[in-house]
Amino acid sequence: MLTIRLRAFGGPDALVCEETTRPIPEPGEVLIKVACCGVCHLDLILRSGTRSRVSLPRTLGHELAGEVVEVGAGVRDFDAGDRVTVFNFQACASCEDCRRGRPSLCRATKGDIGQTRDGGYADYAVLLASNLVRLPSGMAMDAACFAACVYGPPYKAIRRVGDLKPGQTAVITGASGGLGLAAIQIINALGGRSIAITSSAAKVPLLKERGANEVVVSADGNFGEDVRALTNGRGADLVVELTGSPTFAGTLRSLAPGGRCAVVGELHGNPVSINLGLLIIKEFRIEGVQSASRDDLCEVLEFMHANKIKPEVWRRMPLQSAAEAHRLLADRQAVGRILLVP
């Protein structure tokens, strides 16, 4: 089979195309024929070597969907022919965080696809059965493969933290990225009003076309007054913070009394300041959001399928073009997602 291997950390050319032997699933594992695999910014970080959990050699790719070919001993939940997608970590189920229903906080995860276990940059992948979720009937593979990584975090931000109701207003920072476009789709499906924040005037038509009710161009991150003007001075019920420190001051200024801020992304790792008096008086809620769990993913898949939500796929490329896909993503040329298709 064809496999893209990372044998040494480095630039895009560190991704090497090889012929390898098709793996055989061991107990608890499932062999999947990969239909498609998304290229994620995390893949670029892993390839560079800045994430120490990656052991070499490694096959990247945690945004995959495909068809079950063979199951290992002890696997009861899947059969050959099942259409599946994945979430890229498996919590231990026994630590304190797992026991209190917060598997995303588990620090004893296993099966981290593309990090400690080979992923979807290949014709076939062997994965733990516990990392798999069956697709809703009729759901397209190229939509399902993005459910966990692209739609999972904004879905948790909007449904869990935001508890967004029809007619309420949600602001999305960094709205033109993959997660931002997903957030707009989710807000629209829930009957909310979306205000997209972008630093580029050139991206306004794209965001309008993708369903944003309003678009604010803010190069300096001070968009709070703009949001208040669009909400008759009240502010937004929710901000989905995808940028982090560069926009956080504007985010707090945007919030209505009792508003919620779901922090999903942080671009620079810089500290931010918060006026605690304002936090108390306005009763703001600020909460971090990580990856989707297995239960989250099942809910996201059903939500996407029921609401006919489809990811914005910018380009489909063959496996052999994995290095070029990494270059395009690093150069910020992609508008939407890149798919590798065996």
What's the pLDDT tens digit per position in 9-54? 999 999 999 999 999 999 999 999 999 999 998 899 999 998 777 8
- 269: confidence class by pLDDT, cuts 50, 70, 90: confident
What's the whole-number mean pLDDT along residues 199-220?
Answer: 94
Q: What is the pLDDT of residue 234?
A: 97
| C-alpha distance from residue 153 to each of 136, 264, 290, 297 (Å) | 20, 7, 6, 10
Contact in structure between 264 and 179 (CB atoms under 8 Å):
yes
Report all structural domains of the chain as residue ranges with CATH numbers, in order of start: 2-146+311-341 (3.90.180.10), 150-288 (3.90.180.10)
How many residues in the chain? 342
| Local structure of residue 36 (DSSP, 8 states) | E
Contact in structure between 262 and 239 (CB atoms under 8 Å):
yes
| Local structure of residue 322 (DSSP, 8 states) | H
Q: Does residue 57 have a cis peptide bond before it, meaning omega lies within 30 degrees of 0? A: yes
- 109: confidence class by pLDDT, cuts 50, 70, 90: confident
| Local structure of residue 199 (DSSP, 8 states) | S
Tokens of 195: 């205000």
Contact in structure between 44 and 62 (CB atoms under 8 Å):
no
pLDDT 10s digits, 124-135: 999 999 889 999
Tokens of 175: 């709205």
DSSP-derived secondary structure for 247-291: THHHHHHHEEEEEEEEE---SS-------HHHHHHHT-EEEE---
Q: Burial-class residue 150 by CB neighbours within 10 Å (0-12, 13-18, 19+).
A: buried
Beta strand 255-263 with 285-288: parallel, antiparallel or unpaired? parallel
Cα separation, 278 vs 92, in Å, equals 39
| Local structure of residue 90 (DSSP, 8 states) | B
pLDDT 10s digits, 254-268: 999 999 999 999 888
| Local structure of residue 245 (DSSP, 8 states) | T
- Strand segments, DSSP code E, in the chain are 2-6, 15-19, 29-39, 63-71, 83-86, 124-128, 132-134, 169-172, 193-198, 214-217, 236-241, 255-263, 285-288, 313-318, 337-341
Average pLDDT, the chain: 93
Q: What is the pLDDT of residue 140?
A: 96
What's the whole-number mean pLDDT along residues 53-78?
Answer: 95
pLDDT 10s digits, 313-325: 889 999 999 999 9
Strand partners, 216: 197
Using only C-alpha atoms, the chain has a radius of gyration, in whole angstroms, of 20
> What are φ and ψ of residue 73, in 5° steps?
-60, 140
- Looking at this protein, which amino acid is placed at residue 153? P
Q: Give the percent of the chain with pLDDT over 70.
A: 99
pTM: 0.91
What's the whole-number mean pLDDT along residues 166-195?
Answer: 96
Cα separation, 245 vs 241, in Å, equals 9
pLDDT 10s digits, 136-164: 999 999 999 999 999 999 999 999 999 99
Q: Which residue matches tokens 């593979």?
A: 141
Q: What is the pLDDT of residue 111?
A: 64
